[in-house]
Structures are given as C-alpha cells and as structure tokens.
Amino acid sequence: MNSFQFILKYIKRHRFQYVAGIITLFVVDFANLFIPKLTGTITDGLTAHTFAWDDVKLCLLQIFLLGLTLAIGRFLWRFFIFGAARSIEKELRNDMFGHLEKMSVEYYNEHKTGDLMTRFTSDLNAVRMSIGPAIICVFDASVMTVMVILQMMNYVNVKLTLLALIPMVVICVGEIYYGKIMHPRYKARQEAVSNLTDYVQESFSGVRVIKAFVRERAQMREFARANRDTMDKNLNVVRLQSIVIPLLDVIIGFSSLATLVYGGYLALTGEITLGRFVAFNQYINMLVWPMLACGDAINMFSQGAASIRRIQDVFDEKPEIHDTEATQDVDKLHGNITFSHLTFIHRGHSEPTLKDINLDVPAGTTLAVIGRTGNGKSTLVNLLLHLYNTKPGMILLDGRDINTVPLKTLRENIAYVPQDNFLFSDTLKHNIAFGVEDEDMDRIVKATQAACIHENIISFPDGYETIVGERGVTLSGGQKQRSSIARALMKDAPILILDDALSAVDTDTEEQILTNLKKNRSGKTTILIAHRISTIQNADIIMVLEDGEAREIGNHSELMALGGIYRDMFEKQQLEAAIGEKRAALQEEHA
C-alpha cells in the first residue's frame, strides 16, 4: 500500500464532510466572481451617468448579500474540511497508539521513544495540514483560477487575460520543481527532530545518573550538537522557502504591473471601459491568492507525504506476538506449568539464552529460580508471559501449548512484578488497582497489607491519594517494590511471578512478605526469581540456572546435599552475611 492509498482510507470515512466542504468552497468561489463585475458595473454606470441612486443601492445590496454568502460559506467550509482533518488526525493517533500497544517488546528494543513521540506530534500535524488546508489550497487555486480566467475573458478582454496567464505558467512549473526539492529536506528535518526529542527524553529520564557522574557539561555539549543539527535541517527547509516565496512575490508583482500598464492602455484607447478595467484589477488580485496557494499546497503536500511515510512505517511493522488460528478458547488457567526442552535464542544473538529446560510445576507450587546475572531468569518469565515466541510444545499451561492460549486470557491469569517496578505518574491508589476494573478500597488495603506497604502509605499526608512522580521516583526503591507487589496481589491470579521483587527490602520485611504470600496464595502457583537464597530457600522447587541451563533442580535440602552450585552460593552468602554482621558490630563498638 502506497502513502496515498494509506491516507485515502481515512479520508473516505469522512467523504461526506469533504464533499460538503468542497461544494461550499465552490459556492464561495463562484460568489466571489460577481463582486468585481458589480464594481465595474457601478463604475461604468456612474461614469456614463446612466445609474440612478436606486440602481446604486440595488448593486450595493447585491454586494452585501454576496459578502454575507461569503462569510457563511467560509465558516462552513472550514467547519467541514478542517473538522474532517482534525478527526482524521485523532483517528490516526488512536490507531497508531493501539497498534503500538500490540507490538512485541523487541520492537521497543529497536525503536527510540523520542522518534515515536515525534510521529505522534509533529508528523501527525503535518499530515493534518496536508489533508486540510492543502486540499483547500489546491481546490481554490484550480477552481478559482479557471473561473476567474473565464470571467476575465468573457467580461473584460481576451488579450489582457492571456498576458496575465504567462507568469502563472512559470509559477506552476517552478512550484512542481520546488516540491521535489522540499520533500527530502523535510524528511531529514523530521528525523533530526526525532533524534533531538529522543535525546531530551533520555536525558530527563536519566538525570540522576547524569548528576551522579557529573556529566552535565558533556550532556549539554551533546544536546547542543543535536540541537544544532535540528537547526541546520530546519534552515535547509527555511532557506528554500526564503528563496521561493519572495521570488513568487516578484513574479506576481511584475505580472500585476504588466497587466496594469496594458490594461490602462486599453482603457485609454477605448477598447475596454473604465469599469471593466477596475473589474480586471480586482480579478488580478483574486488570481494572486491561487498563485500563492499553489506554493503553500506543494509545501504542505511535500511535508505531509514525508510524514505519512513515517507514520505508515509504524503500521507496516506487524506484531510478532498475536493470537493465531491455532488459538483456542480458554476461560481460566489453574497454574500447572510444564517446560519441555525449552530453548530460546534472542534476536541478534548467536547463542541460546535458555538451553533444554525440562521441568513440571504442578498448580499450587512455589517455584524459585536462582542464578547469576545474565543466565536467563528474566527471559524465562518473559516467555511465560508470552512476550517472546517459543516453538510449539516447549511451554505448556494446564497441558495446553502456550501458543494456543489467547493472550488476553494468559495475561489476565498471571500477576507479574517486573525488575524495574514501573509506577505511573498517578495516585498510589490507581497504581495499586491498575490491573483490576474495580478500585475497591478493602481489596487495595488487603493487598498493601500483604505487601507490607500499607503503614508507609497511610503515613503520607495524602495517603492512598498520594501522587507518585514519573516512574515512581518520589518513592524509595523498597516502597516501589512493595507497591508493585501489592498491584500484583490485587489481581489474585492463579500464577504470580516475582522477578527479583524483594531485592530492595530488608530481611525482616522480606520474611513477612513471604509469610503473607504463603498464607494468601495457598493452592496457587508462585514463581520467585531472586539472588538471595534467604528469599527462596522455603520454595517447593528450586531451579539453579547456569549458562542458561537448569544445572540443579530440587528443594533446599536436596540441593544442599548435592554439594554443587547451590550449596556454593549458599555458603558464600552466609559468609558475606557473617562478615557484614561482624563489621557492623565492630563499628558499633568504635562508636
């Protein structure tokens, strides 16, 4: 599908508004033709003394009615065409947001946020201009020009009209060439704006890191470079406009001067009347707008075409994760999970992240996954959430291939606490109730109590109505983690995944949360990912990942008896804890 076909399907939805707007615009242009003629008639009548006062009043009344028609008509065509363009802009933005919501996580790994934001703002604005004002300019320029020229030839003089047409031909040819040059310049400008937006977004998100490493000056230099590049790309567009628009004015000025001189000569020789000469000058002024409108239209179409292509690129990307013909209706999951020779390779990697994982997790089991950083723990739970595709039969839920479970059902039946503990810029109440439809305060309080965050929340001045900053930055790391746990517990899902979700809380709070989980989630599957063995040692099944392989599987006692990786990790952590306690005791003595 080319860019024209892409935008045409949106225009078709509002075709009646466009038709009504164009008809109204035609009426306005047609009514415009009679004002110079009436002016000329009044001038000739007064000059020849053939007009009485009643005749003048009648002509003035006609001009008034024409002016009223123009005022109403101009309101209506703006209402119809600009309204349709705004509606299409809204629909495009909604469709693009909905499409991006369906995209897999790999898409966001490969596309910058700033670039996507520019497509939502600057590019959509350019599209709106190309399907609103630009269409008006094209219609007005073509229809008005034809009607004015015919009226000039019929009412004034053919030779004078042909003289006025010569610069118009020059302008039309020049503006076609102008449009071809403008298109790549505008595309480069939009890409520069995208890069600048992305840089600003990343800098603000990472401002704490920038300050911690004293990189303000370096960031400022990089920003200045990106800003300079954006300015240069904008100047490339503006320079072309600054040459073309004054040149257009010069050509129009010479055209007006030539027709004025020749028209004056014809009036003096008596070939045309004074009134017709006055009308002709008004018609010439009416032709100036179409000449200028052509340049504006070509400029808007060039910018719009580049922006439509950028927006279409988003829609051309198809989500990798979606329901297929093999998807079967499933209402509820019970929580039985089976990994059968699970192997997974991330896009762009040559080695598998997970290798031949085999494990059966009955419903109601607490599974713990432990291992060093980068061994595939988070990848494992991302596959359970079907954020990445796996080969058929590698993951079974209640005996069903995960690829046949509807995405909505799958994710509704899994509560997830990610590593980054993302919170929205909203109240704590809304953040905790994010995954459910009903914001029942009793359920919210029960979830926060289980997550050991209730006491912290009620100590805030606004309690549950406290607004957290972007990504929850106004809360401590432990408060964010516990708020995320409460949000997951609100779903009361058959499967709960905690991805290193207790790393920022102290050991006493961790123990209390784990006790609450054991009590509240009886009969439901829980998956714990952690680095601390104290977090997972009471799990029913513990899987030790090493280089993407399940090297050891069993409970705490069984793995300790093996004397392998798990026992080595346990003893190291015990030693580190003992050293830490001794160091704290010595510091206390010295104090």
Do 237 and 160 belong to one domain? Answer: yes
Distance in angstroms (rounded) separating the CA atoms of residues 502 and 475: 15
Q: Which residue has the tokens 């305060």?
A: 441
| Same domain assignment for residues 282 and 402 | no
| Boundary of a domain, candidates 286, 316, 346 | 316
Are 395 and 423 in the same domain? no
Into how many domains does the chain fold?
3
**82 and 132 together in one domain:** yes
Same domain, 189 and 147: yes
First to last CA, the chain: 75
Residue 243 and residue 344 in one domain:
no
Q: Residue 77 CB: number of other CB atoms within 10 A?
A: 23
* Tokens at 576, concatenated: 């580190």
- List of residues 6+ apart from 138 with CB closer than 8 A: 293, 294, 297
Residues 404 and 488 in one domain: no
Kind of pairing between the strands at 525-530 and 541-546 = unpaired
Helix H or strand E encompassing 187: helix 158-205
Neighbouring C-alpha atoms within 13 Å toward the C-beta of 363: 15
List, edge to edge, every strand of the sheet that includes 354-361.
354-361, 337-344, 395-397, 400-401
Structure tokens at 502: 């207790």
The Cα 434–Cα 444 span in angstroms is 11
Last residue of a domain, one of 469, 492, 515: 492
Does residue 531 share a domain with residue 590? yes
Short-list 466, 542, 541, 479, CA closest to 513: 479
The pLDDT profile of the chain, 591 residues, written as one tens digit per residue, is: 677 788 888 888 888 998 998 888 888 878 877 777 777 677 766 666 666 777 777 777 877 888 888 888 889 888 998 889 999 999 999 998 888 888 887 788 777 777 888 888 888 888 888 888 888 888 877 777 777 777 777 766 677 777 777 777 777 777 667 777 777 887 788 788 888 888 887 787 777 677 766 777 888 888 888 888 888 888 888 888 777 777 777 777 777 777 777 777 777 777 777 777 777 777 777 776 676 677 677 778 877 888 888 888 888 888 888 877 777 787 788 889 999 999 998 877 778 888 989 999 898 898 999 888 778 888 888 889 888 888 888 999 988 888 888 888 888 888 888 887 888 888 888 888 888 877 788 888 888 888 888 888 888 888 888 888 777 777 888 888 888 888 888 888 899 998 888 777 887 888 888 888 888 888 889 999 888 888 888 888 999 988 888 888 988 888 888 888 888 888 888 887 677 666 766 666 665
Phi, psi of 538 (to 5 degrees): -95, 10
Greatest Cα pair distance in the chain:
122
If asked whether residues 237 and 369 sit together in one domain, one would say no
Contact (Cβ atoms closer than 8 angstroms) between residue 42 and residue 50: no
| Same-domain pairing of 350 and 361 | yes
CATH assignment at residue 482: 3.40.50.300
Element (H, E) at 248: helix 216-268
492, 517, 542 — which closes off a domain?
Answer: 492
Nearest alpha-carbon partner for 473 in 200, 210, 205, 199 = 205
Same domain? 590 vs 526: yes
- Who contacts 350 (Cβ-Cβ below 8 Å, separation ≥6)? none
Pairing label, strands 366-371, 414-417: unpaired
Range of the domain at 474: 415-492
The CATH number of whichever domain residue 302 belongs to comes to 1.20.1560.10
Query: Do 488 and 364 have their domain in common?
Result: no
Candidates 562, 571, 506, 503; CA nearest to 532 is: 503
